[in-house]
Structure 1
Amino acid sequence: MVYIRRLVGKIPRLESQASSIVELKDATGVILDVSGSAPGEGRAVIQDHGEWRVIAGQRDYQLTTGERIRVVGKEGLVLLVEPAPRSVSSAEE
């Protein structure tokens, strides 16, 4: 019985890790959906962190589907986002 318990204890865990604000800060993503949401709210996929509910970090900023965003903060389980800065290569096109 002790042998089995030790064997089971050595099996690597495949549990997903929770995302902390330190990891999410400055992460980029894409807005999935803004339909049915209040102005400035929507859902987005954040690279390496999955799908999150997001709100605009600036009052006058409106989210649009397909837009690239950057995480600037977090309020509970909702991320504050702003437009992602354009890369040099995409600005030249």
Structure 2
Amino acid sequence: MDFALARGEGSGFEARRVEASPIGEDFAFYQQKLPGAFIMIGSGGPYALHHPQFRVDDRALFPTAHYLSQLAVQALQTLSAEILSKEKKRLNKQRHFSAQ
């Protein structure tokens, strides 16, 4: 979903595509059925997510929530259009075969 990167950049984030990492996520199984994006958002702190001294910079919460909400709207619009297009093609094929 390239629009996730574009939406991130448009929201003022440093957005980049990174190589897949074997971090034990089952998310890849979902992406076999539907397109998606695994998004990792950081707040620039010195400690990694699972480090005992990790602290979220509260200033990152609102922009992150805004980005994710806008991304969700765009993804639903895009997926809805794709699903609708596929369904119309399927129905047209059905009608074509029924008319013969």
The answer to whether TM tops 0.5 is no
TM-score by length of 2: 0.21
Higher helix share: 2
TM-score by length of 1: 0.22
